[in-house]
């Protein structure tokens, strides 16, 4: 696995927490722009370049929706629907609460999918150590005494 793929996986894993932080900040009374900036401080470090791109665009005079697109471009995949939904709510003056509720539900579903995927990989990952540790012990405790007993009984029966 390349470093780029590893970074992409880490960003996707950290995104649900960042969305939760944005939701908490908005529910606490922050504007959407302030909420994203507040979440950037407390979010996982792997998302820092994406939040930096968002903040950089804002400081250069870009609209919230355009700056959020920069964030989605940096993170990729799951961040695109979040950016689209928040930008649409901002652009057309839609209420942000239903949008955020849907985003949180999707983030939690994504977290459950990630956990289920990790749980499905666990038996495969544990099978090698289990076999490597258990098989030698089984051979030493069950097979070797039986073979030694058979060899000893053969030695006794020889004339």
Cα 38–chain centre separation: 21
- C-alpha 12/C-alpha 46 separation (Å) is 10
pLDDT at 116: 94
Tokens (6 digits) for 142: 């069950």
Q: Could you tell me the sign of the dihedral formed by the alpha carbons of 12, 68, 55, 40, in that order?
A: negative
pLDDT at 158: 59
Cα 12–chain centre separation: 5
Angle between helices 48-59 and 32-42 (to 10 degrees): 140
- Computed on alpha carbons and rounded to an integer, the radius of gyration of the chain in Å comes to 28
pLDDT at 17: 85
Domain boundaries, the chain: 1-118
pTM beyond 0.85: no
pLDDT at 136: 87
pLDDT at 1: 66
pLDDT at 153: 83
pLDDT at 159: 61
Beta-strand ranges (E) seen in the chain are none
Q: Are 26 and 35 in contact (CB under 8 A)?
A: yes
- C-alpha 19/C-alpha 5 separation (Å) is 21
Q: Which residues of the chain have pLDDT under 50?
A: none
Tokens (6 digits) for 127: 């099978």
């Amino acid at each position: 696995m390349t470093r780029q793929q590893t970074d992409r996986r880490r960003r996707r894993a950290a995104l649900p927490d960042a969305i939760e932080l944005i939701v908490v900040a908005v529910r606490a009374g922050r504007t959407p722009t302030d909420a994203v900036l507040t979440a950037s401080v407390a979010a996982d470090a792997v998302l820092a370049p994406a939040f930096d791109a968002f903040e950089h665009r804002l400081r250069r005079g870009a609209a919230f929706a355009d700056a959020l697109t920069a964030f989605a471009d940096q993170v990729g995949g799951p961040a695109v629907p979040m950016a689209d939904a928040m930008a649409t709510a901002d652009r057309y003056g839609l209420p942000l609460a239903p949008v955020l509720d849907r985003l949180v539900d999707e983030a939690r579903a994504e977290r459950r999918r990630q956990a289920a995927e990790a749980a499905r990989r666990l038996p495969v990952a544990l099978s090698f150590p289990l076999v490597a540790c258990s098989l030698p012990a089984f051979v030493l405790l069950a097979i070797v005494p039986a073979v030694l007993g058979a060899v000893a009984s053969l030695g006794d029966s020889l004339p």
